[in-house]
Structure 1
Amino acid sequence: MDYRYLGKTGLKVSELCLGTQTFGWVTNETEAFLILDRFVDAGGNFFDTADSYNQGASETIFGKWIKQHGQRSSLVVATKTYFPTGKGPNDMGLSRKHIIEAVERSLRRLQTDYIDVYQLHCYDGATPLEETLRALDDLVKAGKICYIGVSNFAPSHLMKAIMLCRMHKWAEIASLQAEYSLLVRSPEWELLPICEEEGVGFLAWSPLAGGWLSGKYRRDKPIPPDSRGGRRDRFEDLPEQRVKEKTWDIIDILIEIAMMRKKTPAQVALNWLLSKSSSVIPVFGARTIQQLEDNLGAVGWALAPEEVTRLDEISSQEPPYPYSFIKRYARKR
């Protein structure tokens, strides 16, 4: 496993990040510990969770493993807050009150004294961004968190956060976590360029599009019942959202390249993401140790330029205005 800097920070993280959303949901504690141990054995040091994952069970299971692992300084632990963690009116969002309380609860569940990367799980239109960022800066100064990240922000939200932090000399934004895969190319229109220009690390969530790029979904075949699409786990992964002729065209090429390279479709899809930019770090989840082993096979090799081009072309998405207009007329150096 190679390592990449998280944006322009001096923090080195593994080129793959292990997401733990399955822990306490479809992955029990025993299997989760096996997955975590194997990821570390493979050289992984970067882990992502959230306080809302499975009513805190993901953080709790991960925290038990951190204590058992006993080498906290070797791990880069990222978690998030925004979504509801209770029934009270202040049990969600990015208010100062909720963030301060959420950090303390996450620290207890994770059984650690500090969080390496603390992320805002979604933009909060009800809370001034200044209030949120000032609270995070105070937590950095207090030693509760090391770096600040955001997730599911529009380009304007991200740029505003970056400029507010610079203007007030608050701790700067270290990372953005956004959905990005062969099926979701829209971050390339503005989010990824902003990250590269401003020195912000890009964490790609759902890099396998909820399993649609793993090879389990095939053209003219029934949707597997034991899959995210079959279980109808997430709106974005439902067949009625994903099934389009273009989706099958992408999967066909993905499978073709995987067979030629003697790799799995998931490995090719993850490797394609790694080829897009040195700032991109895929955040993948694993329900079983077998799925983890498959995903780990995405590193240690590289797609040929012509293979990347084939995948780029088949998965390209025509950008809307103003991106299309700027692409057509803007000058470049």
Structure 2
Amino acid sequence: QMEYSILKREPEKYVMPMAEKYGFGLLPWSPLAGGILTGKYRQQQTTPDDSRHAFKDWREWAQGMERPYQDAVLDVLAAVAAEKEATISQVALAWTLRQKAVAATIIGPRTMAQYEDNFGALAVEMSEAEYGRINEAAPV
């Protein structure tokens, strides 16, 4: 298990190539970067009171997930999601599941609606061009 998402791609440097080489699958956690990759939390935006980010400890952890380019990544995810008639979350999860070394991913939905939305990622298929646009927006 390891933390891995579009915003936290460091495992692609060492861990994932090794996993591919030796044929084992990884089980990443926080594929939605603590909720950032849902599109709910944009930089310079007020946090909803009913979200995990409203709690001090969670907010401090999530700040470690933030990247200066995250809103640009969210814009690309939103564009791909609109083309696919999917949600930003579904595209972000589909991107994670598309990685060769990823066997499955650990999700943490707080509500049934979030669970159903997350599950919908399994139906999202991306072209090489769409996948490339996301990769371009989020450097390793």
TM-score over 0.5 (shorter chain): yes
In structure 2, the CA distance between the partners of 1:205 and 1:242, relative to structure 1 (3 Å rule), is: closer
1:314 corresponds to which residue? 137
Q: Which amino acid aligns with 1:229?
A: H
Measured after TM superposition, the shift of residue 308 of structure 1 is: 0.5
Distance between the aligned counterparts of 1:226 and 1:243, measured in 2? 20
Question: Are the aligned partners of 1:211 and 1:227 in contact in 2 as well (CA < 8 Å)?
Answer: no
1:200 corresponds to which residue? 24
1:187 corresponds to which residue? 11
Q: Tell me the TM-score normalized by structure 1.
A: 0.40
Distance between the aligned counterparts of 1:233 and 1:298, measured in 2? 28
Question: Are the aligned partners of 2:72 and 2:137 in contact in 1 as well (CA < 8 Å)?
Answer: yes
Q: Which amino acid aligns with 1:214?
A: T
Question: Are the aligned partners of 2:4 and 2:29 in contact in 1 as well (CA < 8 Å)?
Answer: yes
1:236 corresponds to which residue? 61
Query: Any idea what the Cα deviations from partners look like across 1:110-160, whole Å, max 9, x if unmatched?
Result: xxxxxxxxxxxxxxxxxxxxxxxxxxxxxxxxxxxxxxxxxxxxxxxxxxx
Question: Given the alignment of the two structures, is residue 209 of structure 1 paired with residue 15 of structure 2, yes or no?
Answer: no
Distance between the aligned counterparts of 1:207 and 1:231, measured in 2? 20
Measured after TM superposition, the shift of residue 220 of structure 1 is: 4.4
Distance between the aligned counterparts of 1:219 and 1:202, measured in 2? 30
Q: Which amino acid aligns with 2:16?
A: L
Aligned residues: 139
Q: Tell me the TM-score normalized by structure 2.
A: 0.89
Distance between the aligned counterparts of 1:196 and 1:242, measured in 2? 25
Question: Given the alignment of the two structures, is residue 275 of structure 1 paired with residue 69 of structure 2, yes or no?
Answer: no
Write 1 or 2 for the structure with the bigger share of helix.
2
Distance between the aligned counterparts of 1:244 and 1:198, measured in 2? 31
Measured after TM superposition, the shift of residue 199 of structure 1 is: 2.3
Measured after TM superposition, the shift of residue 249 of structure 1 is: 1.1
Question: Are the aligned partners of 1:215 and 1:264 in contact in 2 as well (CA < 8 Å)?
Answer: no
2:108 corresponds to which residue? 285
Superposed CA RMSD: 1.7
1:295 corresponds to which residue? 118
Larger Rg: 1
SS of the equivalent of 1:306 reads: helix
Give the structure, 1 or 2, with the largest relative contact order (CA under 8 Å, sep 6 or more): 2
Question: Given the alignment of the two structures, is residue 304 of structure 1 paired with residue 127 of structure 2, yes or no?
Answer: yes
In structure 2, the CA distance between the partners of 1:187 and 1:301, relative to structure 1 (3 Å rule), is: same
Distance between the aligned counterparts of 1:226 and 1:202, measured in 2? 32
Distance between the aligned counterparts of 2:51 and 2:27, measured in 1? 24
Distance between the aligned counterparts of 2:15 and 2:67, measured in 1? 25
Question: Are the aligned partners of 1:273 and 1:280 in contact in 2 as well (CA < 8 Å)?
Answer: no
Measured after TM superposition, the shift of residue 281 of structure 1 is: 1.3
Question: Are the aligned partners of 1:250 and 1:315 in contact in 2 as well (CA < 8 Å)?
Answer: yes
Measured after TM superposition, the shift of residue 219 of structure 1 is: 4.6
Distance between the aligned counterparts of 1:193 and 1:244, measured in 2? 24
Distance between the aligned counterparts of 1:217 and 1:226, measured in 2? 13
Distance between the aligned counterparts of 1:204 and 1:298, measured in 2? 15
Gaps of 5+ in 1: 1-176, 318-333
Question: Are the aligned partners of 1:196 and 1:279 in contact in 2 as well (CA < 8 Å)?
Answer: no
Distance between the aligned counterparts of 2:71 and 2:118, measured in 1? 21
Distance between the aligned counterparts of 2:135 and 2:50, measured in 1? 30
How much identity, in percent, do the aligned residues show? 37
